[in-house]
Chains A and B, each alone.
Chain A
Amino acid sequence: QVQLVESGGGVVQPGRSLRLSCVVSGFTFTNYAMHWVRQAPGKGLEWVAFMSFDGNDEYYGDSVKGRFTISRDNSKNTLYLQMNNVRAEDSAVYYCAKDPSARVWGYFDYWGQGTLVTVSS
């Protein structure tokens, strides 16, 4: 069955960096685009970033553009989110999510269980 398992969350000070990982199984990772979506505690969902199946296309939400970088290692079935210069408002559960297309449809047919990032001094 399809599984997405995030890791790398934790407590990080403002202005520091953190890298999230998402290891997938149960489908051919190299055939699908992937996304990161986040949810602040008690709040709604916010799309963060997208990467195409081959890594050639990437998009970001305005709130993270220039600070976060999405990447993937297709040999390791792993998606990453490098978070630099984090702010308090980046505190959230971060989900990796699968796109049903190689390029992009833009909706999410499978989600991981999420990893919590808390930005605090």
Chain B
Amino acid sequence: DTQMTQSPSSLSASLGDSVTITCRSSQAISNSLAWYQQKPGKAPKLLLYGAFRLGSGVPSRFSGSSGSGTDYTLTISSLQPEDFAAYYCQQYYSNPYTFGQGTKLEI
């Protein structure tokens, strides 16, 4: 199975800040990487897929990149109040599809 290691597990930031969350896969996943946002008591929402492609209706302050076949980042620019939530990466290169442990973004 492909293990996904996400960091940090929690992050404090202020409105207007820019933050970066990192996800590392245990093997190369060829940009088959999605990011989700989850607010308390709600279902996850797709933010990005293919490592850097925005999901439907997702603001452009969310962006993704890959530094290699195993290292991926989610960057949120100019933090808005609605961005404070949990974020998860997920690889879909191979079954079983696996998630990172999550990052809780707090004010």
- List A residues at the B interface (Cβ < 8 Å): 35, 44-47, 50, 59, 61-62, 95, 100, 105-114
Contact = CB atoms under 8 A, between A and B. Distances in A.
B44 A111 contact: yes
A113 B38 CA distance: 11
A59 B96 contact: yes
Q: How large is the interface on B (under 10, 10 to 19, 20 to 34, 35 or more residues)?
A: 20 to 34
Contacts of A111: 43-45
Given A45-B44, A106-B32, A113-B43, 18 more contacts: A35-B97, A44-B100, A45-B88, A45-B102, A47-B96, A47-B98, A47-B99, A95-B43, A105-B49, A106-B95, A107-B34, A107-B46, A107-B97, A108-B46, A110-B46, A111-B44, A113-B42, A114-B43
Nearest to A112: B43
Interface of B: 1, 32, 34, 36, 42-46, 49, 55-56, 88, 90, 92-93, 95-102
A39 to B, nearest CB: 9
Contacts of A95: 43-44
Nearest to B4: A44
Contacts of B32: 106
A109 B35 CA distance: 11
